[in-house]
């Protein structure tokens, strides 16, 4: 996919921010669409299927987290990158964003050149880390990377994007111990999130797929253990 073909949807209730970001991204060769709230963003996203959505957290009506959750529930948008842009940088806000399916979180005030650089890095990483096996099965689990779908003993379960990516990573190499830093790098990239983020996602996964597979290696990391 070339840069000229990459489509970015900007979602913010601040017209000035939309104009500044649009100006910089268009000048850098991207095709840009805009929406001033979450409801409009969902409709636009369904029509244009953007490669990336840059979305504000605090908006009237549907906030960014709620909008992200709805976007992640749309099959046609399964490969879309979602980046949050917010003046609220508290840990709980970032955790809520990532739990909803965010790929990155950028703090305001906006720095257009930094945002463009992060967007390019996300696109590069997505191309480099394109998985070889789209569908694989292990110990009663079927994982479909293309559809972001997981089945446990043929019972389909729904996972937010980061939970899915974490499970897919661990299950891709059964019985291998993944260190926390490796997990953070491969699932969250260069984001400044703590190792506690991994623990939270592991806990949620255990509730959904059971306690048998995801094992904690004290002081080291985690592994997917076959039965």
pTM for this model (two decimals): 0.61
For residue 3, pLDDT over 60 is answered with no
Helix (H) or strand (E) holding 56: strand 52-56
Is the preceding peptide bond at 36 cis, omega within 30 degrees of 0?
no
**Do you know the residue count of the chain?**
227
Which domains are seen in the chain, by residue range? 3-128 (3.40.50.2300), 135-224 (1.10.10.10)
By percentage, how much of the chain surpasses pLDDT 90?
34
The CA angle 215-101-218, to the nearest 5 degrees, is 20
Q: Please, what sign has the CA dihedral across residues 163, 166, 169, 175?
A: negative
The C-alpha R_g of the chain, in whole angstroms, comes to 18
Q: Note whether 54 and 10 are within 8 A (CB).
A: yes
Average pLDDT over residues 220-225: 88
For residue 2, pLDDT over 50 is answered with no
Query: What is the distance in angstroms between the CA of the first residue and the CA of the last residue of the chain?
Result: 40
pLDDT tens for each residue of 88-145 = 767 788 888 888 888 888 888 888 888 998 898 888 776 545 555 567 787 788 888 8
pLDDT tens for each residue of 19-71 = 999 999 999 999 999 999 999 999 999 999 999 999 999 998 899 999 999 99
Q: Which two tokens stand for residue 1?
A: 């996919």
- C-alpha–C-alpha distance, residues 18 and 98, integer Å: 23
**Structure confidence at residue 227 as a pLDDT band (50, 70, 90):** low
- C-alpha–C-alpha distance, residues 82 and 69, integer Å: 11
The values of phi and psi at residue 138, to 5°, are -155, 125
Helix axes 91-100, 196-209, angle to 10 degrees: 40
For residue 159, pLDDT over 90 is answered with no
pLDDT value of residue 42: 96
By percentage, how much of the chain surpasses pLDDT 70?
91
């Amino acid at each position: 996919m070339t840069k000229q073909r990459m489509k970015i949807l900007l979602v913010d209730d601040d017209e000035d921010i939309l104009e500044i970001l649009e100006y910089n991204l268009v000048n850098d060769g991207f095709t840009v669409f805009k929406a001033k709230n979450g409801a409009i963003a969902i409709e636009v996203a369904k029509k244009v299927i953007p490669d990336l959505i840059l979305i504000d957290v605090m908006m009237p009506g549907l906030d960014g987290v709620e909008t992200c959750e709805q976007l992640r529930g749309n099959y046609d948008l399964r490969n879309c990158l979602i980046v949050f842009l917010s003046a609220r940088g508290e840990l709980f806000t970032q955790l809520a964003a990532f739990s909803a399916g965010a790929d990155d979180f950028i703090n305001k005030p906006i720095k257009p050149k930094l945002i463009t650089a992060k967007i390019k890095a996300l696109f590069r990483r997505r191309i480099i880390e394109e998985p070889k096996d789209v569908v694989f099965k292990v110990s009663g689990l079927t994982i479909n990377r293309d559809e972001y779908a997981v089945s446990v003993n043929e019972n389909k379960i729904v996972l937010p994007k980061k939970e899915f990516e974490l499970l897919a990573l661990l299950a891709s190499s059964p019985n291998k111990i993944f260190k926390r830093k490796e997990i953070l790098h491969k699932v969250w990239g260069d984001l400044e999130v703590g190792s506690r983020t991994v623990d939270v996602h592991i806990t949620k996964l255990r509730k959904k797929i059971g306690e048998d597979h995801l094992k904690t290696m004290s002081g080291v990391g985690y592994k997917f253990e076959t039965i």
